[in-house]
Amino acid sequence: TAPVLSVRNLQVEFTSRRGTLRAIDGVSFDIAKGEVLGVVGESGAGKSVTGLAVIGLIDPPGRISGGEILLSGLRIDNLPPEEMRQVRGKRIGMIFQDPLTSLNPLYRVGDQIIETIKTHTNLTDQQARKRAIDLLAEVGISAPEKRIDGYPHEFSGGMRQRVVIALALCAEPELIIADEPTTALDVSVQAQIISLIKRLGRDHGTAVMLVTHDMGVIAETCDRVAVMYAGRVAEIGPVQEVIQNPLHPYAKGLMGAIPTLAGEDKRLVQIPGSMPRLSAIPAGCSFNPRCSAAFERCRVDRPEPLRHGTQAVACHLYDRATETAA
């Protein structure tokens, strides 16, 4: 069966008077039913843009300039806006960092959930209310039959994020995209939201794309992880493999700095230098100016992801051609 999400050689460009910047340059990955894929990287690596591309929310002057996005085998990157809006509401759920982007402060949370349920089902008001209460209970809101009539401001940040997750689940989507869903929350609440997201895959068979800069969150939540750098996937593989045996020099740097959920150190990277700006991506491997293992070929030739056991890595160190030449 087709993966729930298949992103194939995705390219995203932003055009301004000063020229065209490529924010995403050849990103590919799949997410299977019930699987949580973490997408990790520094800010500006292209994680959020990738998520926005999948849900069809890249606004002009940005655009998808190449590649394909398939949802359960059907292309969605070229759908008319109205059709894409339906896909977004029904087949793809979204959870953002700030729950208030998804909740209207003027309406009771229950009414927002009930309205969403009714949009996607033929349930009566009463049935939809019952379903909303069940969903609130499922995401861990106690006394849901009372809380359902509360307004967003009457909920704590963590509780609001639970409401957003309930809202995302209303249409029983195939795919949920969660962009930094725990970043704004207290550490103690983060762990609860993470175990909730993890359960989605298990209990609902939902595929989850979890975008975060926090390797600790990835380690706790994900089945697989894609490490992004400068608009490309540097390495992708099962989360345990990538954490214990990172192959790409950039991933090695990241894994040296995994914070624990309870820990203080939230810095992701302990690699000298910083990620290049989109307007100044180096030729060859975009990581070469920061890479202590860089050699001649890295400055001219762009590495493509190649399979290496259960991982795939875009680095010339793992290319047969390099091995033969050495």
Single residue of 48, 102, 182, 212 touching Mg ion by CB under 5 A: 48
Query: Per rule CB under 6 A, is residue 132 in the interface with ligand SF4?
Result: no
Give the helix/strand (H/E) hosting 238: strand 232-238
Q: Which residues contact 12 (CB under 8 A, 6 or more apart)?
A: 22, 23, 24, 46, 49, 50, 53, 58, 62, 63, 64, 65, 231
Q: Any contact of residue 50 with Mg ion (CB under 5 A)?
A: no
End-to-end Cα separation, the chain, in angstroms? 41
Residue 166 CB, shortest distance to Mg ion, in Å, is 23
Taking CB within 5 to 8 Å according to partner kind, which of ligand SF4, Mg ion, none is near residue 294? ligand SF4
With CB under 5 to 8 Å by kind, the binding choice for 287 among Mg ion, ligand SF4, none is ligand SF4
> Which stretches does DSSP call E strand in 113-221?
175-179, 207-212
Choose among 186, 110, 105: nearest CA to 153.
105
Closest distance of CB 23 from ligand SF4, Å: 20
Q: Out of Mg ion, ligand SF4, none, which partner does residue 14 contact, by CB within 5 to 8 A per kind?
A: none
Q: If 0-12 CB within 10 Å is exposed, 13-18 middle and 19+ buried, where does residue 316 land?
A: buried
DSSP 62-101: EEEEEEEEEETTEE-TT--HHHHHHHHHHTEEEE-SSGGG
Nearer to ligand SF4, 5 or 242 (CB): 242
- Token pair listed for 240: 């345990």
The residue (of 225 and 315) whose beta carbon lies closer to Mg ion is 225
Total residue length of the chain: 326
Shortest distance in whole angstroms from residue 284 CB to ligand SF4: 7
In the complex with ligand SF4, which residue's Cβ is closer, 96 or 287? 287
Shortest distance in whole angstroms from residue 83 CB to Mg ion: 26
Which residue's CB is nearer to ligand SF4, number 174 or number 319? 319
Question: Which residue among 91, 285, 305, 312 contacts ligand SF4 (CB under 6 A)?
Answer: 285
Binding mask 237-276 for ligand SF4 (x = CB under 6 A): -----------xx---------------------------
Instruction: Compute the distance between CA of residue 178 and CA of residue 185 in angstroms, rounded to an integer.
Output: 14
Strands 36-40 and 207-212: parallel
The window from 23-31, 121-129, 304-312, 315-323 that contacts ligand SF4 (CB under 6 A) reads 315-323
Nearest C-alpha neighbor of 210 from the set 138, 202, 219: 219
Residue 152 or 303 with smaller CB distance to ligand SF4? 303
For ligand SF4, give the closer residue by CB, 102 or 288. 288
Q: Which of 293, 300, 321, 325 binds ligand SF4 (CB under 6 A)?
A: 293
d(CA 279, CA 275): 11
Residues that bind ligand SF4 (CB under 6 A): 248-249, 285, 287-288, 291, 293-294, 298, 303, 315-317
Residues that bind Mg ion (CB under 5 A): 48
